[in-house]
Amino acid sequence: MPDATLLRTIPNPEPDRDYCVDHVTEEFTFLYPLTDQPCFGRVEISYLPDASCIETMSLKQYLNTYRDESFSLEAVTNRVLDDLQAACLPREARVKIGFNVRGGIETTVTVEVRS
């Protein structure tokens, strides 16, 4: 299973200010449950930090743990948001994953949470 314990945080240097942190990676891979074939996607994470921020190297390591795991497109997007929220308790967070075309269909899943 994806290892959310890899997500480390750092103190927010401006906890009294609202600002957005964006992380984007083109290197996201997991397995599609019906075929066990790899899926590839572009992950966009945006959040308004509260007391802490996600440390970027730990985010990369965490996302890499999906490589051999099987998820639906919707489930994987929600799981990334849930783990991000649990790790740093942001004021707001949004995860958007644009999946590579499969079967001629382009799919994007977006999920958000507000405190």
pLDDT, position 115 = 75
State what percent of residues in the chain have pLDDT above 70.
Answer: 100
Q: What is the largest CA-CA distance in the chain?
A: 47
Does residue 15 carry a pLDDT above 90? yes
For all residues of the chain together, what is the average pLDDT? 96
pLDDT, position 67 = 96
Q: What is the pLDDT of residues 25-71, one digit of tens each?
A: 999 999 999 999 999 999 999 999 999 999 999 999 999 999 999 99
**What is the residue extent of each domain of the chain?**
4-114
CA separation, residue 1 to residues 34, 58, 71, 103, 107 (Å): 17, 16, 10, 27, 23
The domain 4-114: what is its CATH number?
Answer: 3.30.1130.10
Q: Can you tell me the mean pLDDT for 97-104?
A: 91
Does residue 21 carry a pLDDT above 80? yes
The pTM assigned to this predicted structure is: 0.95
